[in-house]
Amino acid sequence: MTVDEHQRVIDKLQAVIDDTQRTIDHFAATGMETEMPKEYDRLLPILDDAVNQQRAHTLAMLGRSMDTL
């Protein structure tokens, strides 16, 4: 992947992270995590996976950009 392609993926993953975090915050603010625990528990792996993928793309992008120096 090119640096630009990695950056696009990183940006899309950031949108997923932001949306998921907002949903988690909404669940917590309204007490929905106790009313809908299964749904709440499904959000945490989504957030974790997106963060891990974003980290991998960031490291790959940084490694790729260092190769061009």
What pLDDT, in 10s, does the model give residues 24-53? 999 999 999 999 999 999 999 999 999 999
pLDDT at 69: 46
User: Can you give the residue ranges of every domain in the chain?
Assistant: 3-67
- Within a 10 A sphere around the Cβ of 31, how many other Cβ atoms? 9
What pLDDT, in 10s, does the model give residues 16-32? 999 999 999 999 999 99
What is the spatial distance between Cα 69 and Cα 47, in angstroms, rounded to a whole number? 33
Rg of the Cα atoms in the chain? 16
CB 10 within 8 A of CB 58: yes
